[in-house]
Amino acid sequence: EQIVRDIFGIVKEDGNRQFLTAYIEIPKKNGKSELAAAIALYLLYADNEASAEVYGAACDRNQASIVFDVAKQMVLMSRPLEKRSK
């Protein structure tokens, strides 16, 4: 929660966020995929950017599918997000 607050909560006078890039270290089995999926969905649906695009990178397709699958499940569990998705 504090990570998200620090990254997204500080807004400059011009309305832009103070931070455009963040480096986060989280130990194994502590919700990295869930955090990445939630941030990606926020940026995609709630950041007030028209035609927003979110990209992820991984070493292989299996690894890349982890966050994608978590985000997909989050969308399927949220009626409003599901309505806005293809």
Please provide the average confidence, as pLDDT, over all residues in the chain.
92
DSSP-assigned letters across all residues of 14-52: TS-BS-S-------TTSSHHHHHHHHHHHHHHTS--TT-
Tell me the average pLDDT across 46-53.
88
Residue-level pLDDT at 86? 77
The one-letter amino acid at 28: K
> Over the stretch 8-44, which tens digit does the pLDDT of each residue have?
998 999 988 899 888 999 999 999 999 999 999 999 9
